[in-house]
Amino acid sequence: MRNLLRFISLCVLLLLFLAACRPTARVAESAAATPEDDIHLLLRSDCLEIGYHIPCKQPHWVRYTLRREMTEGPARRKDNFRPDPRIPESKSAQLADYARSGYDRGHLAPAADMTHSQECMDESFWLSNISPQTAGCNRGVWKRLEEQVRRWTHSHDSILVYTGPILQNHQNFSSIGSGEVCVPEAYYKALLFYADNDFYALAFVIPNENSPEPLTSFAMSVQQLETTCGLDFFSHLADTTQQRIEAVENHPGLWE
């Protein structure tokens, strides 16, 4: 009996030690998720977590943890856009909705963030990760922001990324296709940086149009973004940590 108790004690200590050695993973694994309801479907995989907005037939938010090695892998894009097989056809955008619409099939989680896995690369082309973006936004300012986030992985252990369209008052949006896929007026990114055993956060709102303005002009605090889009980011962190990091409007050191 004494040996059994000693063995159990050692197992408990080992588990506690291993948990303490995984601060980066904790960022993604502890994040709160939106429950499934009549507006949202919660879609989970090893690649992405998506809060899918049924009325607008696109993601309300996409969440993943980004690390530098994820952007330097061997996977190659095949541009194989297709509906997400997890979503009923009546609730999903279709390729025909985007055809000749005048809008790009814009990624929310970019394919270039998924080069570590061919499975994740291919999954990024499911229409559950796609939103109608103007060519100027998708190939211009939005692309610049995506590239900047990847550069930031060089100086951070990880970045927890939330990204999506701003979908308030969806009934007032224009739409494309017979599926009436909403055309958002703007997109956001909320970023939780982890480095040197500490967190800090920054957010962006990008209009669905091209802009030559520097990315710093679109930066804002996470607190401001939450007010704008009605979502609660990073609620898995302690309240004191949230209050400290979510009120900061910019981090000049990021741009050096």
Structure token digits, residue 16 = 């506690």
Sort 74 into a burial class: Cβ within 10 Å, 0-12 / 13-18 / 19+: exposed
Verify whether residue 60 is a known catalytic residue. no
Catalytic residue among 53, 107, 116, 156: 107
Give the whole-angstrom CA distance, residue 72 versus residue 52. 28
**Bridge-based pairing state of the strands 175-176 and 158-165:** unpaired
Q: b or e along 159-193 (b: 16 or more beta carbons within 10 Å of the residue's beta carbon)?
A: bbbbbbbbbeebeebebbbebebbbbbbbbbbbbb
- Provide the annotated active-site residues: 107
